[in-house]
Chain A
Amino acid sequence: MRTYTVALAGNPNTGKSTLFNALTGLKQHTGNWSGKTVSLASGHYEYKDARFQFIDLPGTYSLFSNSADEEVARDYIIFEKPDVTLLVLDATALERSLNLALQVLEMTDRVIVCLNLMDEAKKKGIQVNARKLADQLGVPVIPISARNNEGLDVLSEQLLLMSTGQTPTKPYRMKYNEQLEAQISGLESQLRDIVGDEYPARWLAIRFLDGDRKLIATLKERLKAADKGGISLGTAKALGSSNSGHSF
Chain B
Amino acid sequence: MDETKHRQHLHQAAIGERFLIEQVDIRGEHKRRLLDLGFVPGSVIEVLKASPLGDPTSYRVAGTVIALRKEESQLIWGKVISS
Query: Count of chain A residues with Cβ under 8 Å from any Cβ of B?
Result: 9
Query: Count of chain B residues with Cβ under 8 Å from any Cβ of A?
Result: 9
Interface of A is mostly: loop
The chain A residue with its CB closest to the CB of B36 is A62
Q: How many A-B residue pairs have CB under 8 A?
A: 24
Contact A96 B63 (CB under 8 A): yes
Interface of B is mostly: helix
Q: For the complex, is B6 an interface residue (Cβ under 8 Å from A)? A: no
> Complex Cα distance A96/B39, Å?
11
Q: For the complex, is B56 an interface residue (Cβ under 8 Å from A)? A: no
User: Which of B29, B33, B64 is the one whose CB lies under 8 Å from A96?
Assistant: B64
Q: For the complex, is B32 an interface residue (Cβ under 8 Å from A)? A: yes
Contact A66 B29 (CB under 8 A): yes
> Complex Cα distance A192/B63, Å?
39
Q: For the complex, is A64 an interface residue (Cβ under 8 Å from B)? A: yes
Q: What residues on A are CB-neighbors of B33 within 8 Å?
A: 62, 66
Q: What residues on B are CB-neighbors of A95 within 8 Å?
A: 38, 62-63
A62-B32, A96-B64 given. 16 additional CB < 8 A pairs?
A: A61-B36, A62-B36, A64-B32, A64-B36, A66-B29, A66-B33, A66-B36, A92-B63, A93-B62, A93-B63, A93-B64, A95-B38, A95-B62, A95-B63, A96-B63, A99-B38
Chain B contacts to A: CB under 8 angstroms: 29, 32-33, 36-38, 62-64
Chain A contacts to B: CB under 8 angstroms: 61-62, 64, 66, 92-93, 95-96, 99
